[in-house]
Structure 1
């Protein structure tokens, strides 16, 4: 029995110990043994060494493992606990708490949700910062003092001259300086009160600048053309001077003319204004004339008879009633009781202006139905169409210009 108990205890020990060790190793790997890597590029890494702490909001999460020169920057390799998360757009800075304390790498901001920095992530140079070194600050101050101080062989420098000039300018002008400062303060308050429109103006100017930058080639061509025009003007400056001098003389003459005829010009301007107002009131009629005028002139040209030098048109008394002038006048005379021989006289007078009728027709045949007038009692029913005859001295057809000018050629 005792032997069996010892064997059972030995067997339990052999089984439990490996299981416990396996659980411990697994817990170490899952809970505290996993780490992540991160790299960041700095323009310099003074006083940063392997083992330098990596912090988030002042809490240590890892350390620097290596520093590798990389062209004009230094690549700092870091390792941190995997239980900490970093944002995908994280930034890094080398921080110097005091002049004698060790530096550390601060990663910021703290993770608050969203995309996460992956394992092996990289922070580029434009998202890193380094402190100003004290020796570089002293060197810059020394350069500034040397620049402002007196040069070799001189007793005063630029700073001394500036202070002397400032003292001379402000001597006795304290009240004016105080007023200037108050005005500047009021101007600053005005700008602050109107910062919305001011910033809007700045944004508009930025858009204009962007547009000019996007059209750089066009702007460059415009500048070149403007330079060419300027060169041309420079080459013709004497001619331009003469033109400007002549223009000045003309303007002087115009000024004198206007001064002498001020009342007449005022009256003419008033009349012109009245005329323009009348034309404006009759703009529909003017538009109709402009629209129908070409058609009327075309009809006038078509109505001209070049063979006889006359207008072959008929007088329209009413719609559907048309007469030739000689027939109309003769019929009117007969209806009024005048002797018939007057028709011969009228016909003879109008003969050069009336186109000849077509063969086999007379004036009555050319009158549309309902357009005739009954003859007076005792009047001759014979047609009054005169025989066609050419104008005296007419060797050929008249032109429209000659006809409107009046008289035969």
Structure 2
């Protein structure tokens, strides 16, 4: 059977089939985690009394190890339904699930404690009796601040004073307790403004930390990168220090090997230096005379390719013929100019 080439087929049908295939490939890439071979995992659900800030995409951990992520948080009547997917981990029919605090900035994760003698049915929701939510300190402070702000502290103090007066004839233990409550009410009344300011500041600090969460994360990530780079360069630094140590060892050996030759040489050099120092005046005199000598030699040879000299007293006086007029006294000429 002959297969019809693509170029002979209807181009509209080929284009439609190609678009459908591309759409299926894109959908498969987007839902790769849900595919049976490339993704996978089992999805469970649990009931919570409150979400406690848990959101979709948060981690799911077993014994501190990430095994999945939260896939959904929704309200289901008076309870909160939390769906999560895990992979390659066993969840028992008595497993407990809790929302735990991940960081000081309020991030959460889902902690699973796999218990039970049979696997948990994925279609059966984990009851609220097997789930727990964290105690949110931030919300507690905010609620405390709002509650204290609504309390009439003066009326509260009067109420405690009335109670104390009512129990004044009671046994000593009851009277002491009432007096203590009265003193407590007065203290709260006097410190009302300070408590309000403190709680207001705590609320502002919480908001600031929440707004700066990305900056803290960036700082921690940069510190992690720095430590990783130092660790990566550890071998190079180790080789540098080792090479420096070996160089010092080689130089020490070189000095020790040549110590017998360098010692006599340095001693001889010291003796020569001592002789030169001892004859310093003579050397200064020789150098000064050498300067004049060099100047005369330069004058002699500086006129051209001949010697410019003055010869006096070559013929003795007794050999001079009689009657020869006496010349001037034999003295060397005076130096003039450059000659």
The TM-score normalised by the length of structure 1 is 0.29
Q: Larger relative contact order (C-alpha < 8 A, sep ≥ 6)?
A: 2
**Looking at CA atoms only, which structure, 1 or 2, has the larger radius of gyration?**
1
